[in-house]
Amino acid sequence: MLQRSNHNRSKRACPVCARRKVKCDRLVPCSNCVKRGQESECIKFVTNKSAAIAANSESEYLPSLLQLWQSYEYWVMEIGLFKTKDITEGSRKKVSIIENLSECTFWQDCLNTEQSYSLLNFSVENLGPLFFGCIVDINELFTQLERYWRRRDKESRTRNTFNDTVAKFDSDDYLWDALLWSVFTLSFYYMPVNEISKIFPLEPICEHLNIDVKQEWTESLQLLIYERYLKVTTTLLMQSDFMNNPNIKFIQVYLILSNTTLQINNNTLSDSLLLQCIQVAKFFNIDFHKQYAEDDPFLGISKETFGKIWFKLCIIDYYQSGPAKKIYINNEIPSLLQHAAFYQDMPNFNIYKKEDNFESFCWKIVSLERDLDQYLVKSFKPQIKTFDAIKRELEIFNKKLDFNKKPKKKSNEISSINTQFENFLLLFLLNLVSWKLQKMCLIHFETADSLSLSMHYSQNIIQLLIKNVSDGNYIFNKHPWVLKGLSRIISFYSYYNIFVESPEIEQLYETLSDLLSVLPLLLGKKVNNLKFLIVRLNKLGVLWEKVNVVGSLTGSIHPVFKILQNDIKAITRANRKVSVMTNAMHLLGRNDAEEGSGEDEELMLQTESEEFRLIVSQFEAEHDISEIISI
Amino acid sequence: MLQRSNHNRSKRACPVCARRKVKCDRLVPCSNCVKRGQESECIKFVTNKSAAIAANSESEYLPSLLQLWQSYEYWVMEIGLFKTKDITEGSRKKVSIIENLSECTFWQDCLNTEQSYSLLNFSVENLGPLFFGCIVDINELFTQLERYWRRRDKESRTRNTFNDTVAKFDSDDYLWDALLWSVFTLSFYYMPVNEISKIFPLEPICEHLNIDVKQEWTESLQLLIYERYLKVTTTLLMQSDFMNNPNIKFIQVYLILSNTTLQINNNTLSDSLLLQCIQVAKFFNIDFHKQYAEDDPFLGISKETFGKIWFKLCIIDYYQSGPAKKIYINNEIPSLLQHAAFYQDMPNFNIYKKEDNFESFCWKIVSLERDLDQYLVKSFKPQIKTFDAIKRELEIFNKKLDFNKKPKKKSNEISSINTQFENFLLLFLLNLVSWKLQKMCLIHFETADSLSLSMHYSQNIIQLLIKNVSDGNYIFNKHPWVLKGLSRIISFYSYYNIFVESPEIEQLYETLSDLLSVLPLLLGKKVNNLKFLIVRLNKLGVLWEKVNVVGSLTGSIHPVFKILQNDIKAITRANRKVSVMTNAMHLLGRNDAEEGSGEDEELMLQTESEEFRLIVSQFEAEHDISEIISI
Q: Which among B270, B303, B320 is the end of a domain?
A: B320
**Is A471 within the bounds of a domain?**
no
> What is the rounded CA–CA span in Å between residue A363 and residue A312?
7
Identify whether residues B217 and B101 lie together within a single domain: yes
Identify whether residues B216 and B127 lie together within a single domain: yes
Identify whether residues A53 and A192 lie together within a single domain: no
Domain count, chain A: 2
- pLDDT tens digits, A123-153: 999 999 999 999 988 999 999 999 999 999 8
Confidence band of A43 (pLDDT split at 50, 70, 90)? confident
Q: Per mean pLDDT, which range of A391-400, A428-437, B82-91, B399-408 is the poorest? A: B399-408
Task: Check residue B602 and give its pLDDT.
Answer: 45
> What is the rounded CA–CA span in Å between residue A353 and residue A358?
13
Identify whether residues A186 and A67 lie together within a single domain: no
Identify whether residues A214 and A279 lie together within a single domain: yes
Task: Check residue B301 and give its pLDDT.
Answer: 81
**Is A341 within the bounds of a domain?**
no
Identify whether residues B80 and B137 lie together within a single domain: no
Residue bearing the bigger pLDDT, B603 or B620: B620
Query: What is the DSSP code (8-state) at residue A170?
Result: E
Full domain range(s) for residue A276? 97-320
Chain-chain contact of A93 with B36 (C-beta, under 8 angstroms): no
Confidence band of A578 (pLDDT split at 50, 70, 90)? low
What is the pTM assigned to this prediction? 0.90
Contacts of A244 in chain B (CB under 8 A): 90, 95, 266, 268-269, 272
Chain-chain contact of A288 with B35 (C-beta, under 8 angstroms): yes
Distance of residue B283 Cα from the nearest chain A Cα, in angstroms? 5
Distance of residue A385 Cα from the nearest chain B Cα, in angstroms? 31
Q: Which among B289, B320, B351 is the end of a domain?
A: B320
**Is B375 within the bounds of a domain?**
no
Distance of residue B174 Cα from the nearest chain A Cα, in angstroms? 9
Backbone φ and ψ for A325, nearest 5 degrees, come out as: -140, 95
Identify whether residues B236 and B102 lie together within a single domain: yes
pLDDT at residue A351 above 90? no
pLDDT at residue B292 above 80? no
Q: Find, among B442, B450, B443, B458, the residue nearest to B507 by Cα.
A: B458
Contacts of A279 in chain B (CB under 8 A): 271-272, 275, 325, 327
> What is the rounded CA–CA span in Å between residue B153 and residue B631?
39
> What is the rounded CA–CA span in Å between residue B571 and residue B564?
11
Chain A interface mutation, best of B283, B330, B586, highest count of A Cβ atoms under 10 Å: B283
**Is B197 within the bounds of a domain?**
yes
Identify whether residues B62 and B145 lie together within a single domain: no
Task: Check residue A554 and give its pLDDT.
Answer: 43
How would DSSP label each residue in A537-604? HHHHHHHHHH--SSGGGTTS--HHHHHHHHHHHHHHHHH---S---TTHHHHT-----TTHHHHHHHH
Distance of residue B17 Cα from the nearest chain A Cα, in angstroms? 13
Contacts of B244 in chain A (CB under 8 A): 90, 95, 266, 268-269, 272
**Is B558 within the bounds of a domain?**
yes
- Percentage of residues in chain B with pLDDT exceeding 90? 56
Identify whether residues B184 and B291 lie together within a single domain: yes
Task: Check residue A53 and give its pLDDT.
Answer: 44
pLDDT at residue B54 above 80? no
Question: Considering only alpha carbons, which residue of chain A is nearest residue B134?
Answer: A581
> What is the rounded CA–CA span in Å between residue A309 and residue A256?
11
Q: How far is CA A479 from CA A94, A120, A225, A404, B626, in A?
A: 31, 18, 18, 21, 48
Size of interface A-B (CB pairs under 8 A): 244
Chain-chain contact of B284 with A578 (C-beta, under 8 angstroms): yes
Identify whether residues B152 and B268 lie together within a single domain: yes
pLDDT at residue B583 above 80? no
Query: What is the DSSP code (8-state) at residue B95?
Result: E
CB hemisphere CA count around A93 (13 angstroms): 12
Residue bearing the bigger pLDDT, A370 or B553: A370
Chain-chain contact of A91 with B170 (C-beta, under 8 angstroms): yes
Chain B interface mutation, best of A243, A247, A296, highest count of B Cβ atoms under 10 Å: A243
Distance of residue A227 Cα from the nearest chain B Cα, in angstroms? 15
**Is A92 within the bounds of a domain?**
no
Distance of residue B205 Cα from the nearest chain A Cα, in angstroms? 19
Contacts of A164 in chain B (CB under 8 A): 98
Identify whether residues B260 and B145 lie together within a single domain: yes
Q: Find, among B116, B17, B4, B83, the residue nearest to B572 by Cα.
A: B83
Identify whether residues A129 and A213 lie together within a single domain: yes
- pLDDT tens digits, B452-479: 999 999 999 999 999 999 999 999 999 9
Task: Check residue B372 and give its pLDDT.
Answer: 95
Confidence band of A549 (pLDDT split at 50, 70, 90)? low
Q: Which among A320, A351, A374 is the end of a domain?
A: A320
Chain-chain contact of A578 with B268 (C-beta, under 8 angstroms): no
- pLDDT tens digits, B86-119: 777 666 788 999 999 999 999 999 999 999 999 9
B89: exposed, middle or buried (C-beta count within 10 Å: 0-12, 13-18, 19+)?
exposed
> What is the rounded CA–CA span in Å between residue B293 and residue B287?
18
> What is the rounded CA–CA span in Å between residue B67 and residue B74?
12
**Is B388 within the bounds of a domain?**
no
> What is the rounded CA–CA span in Å between residue B153 and residue B149?
6
Chain-chain contact of A583 with B135 (C-beta, under 8 angstroms): yes
**Is B148 within the bounds of a domain?**
yes
Contact B248, A88 (CB under 8 A): no
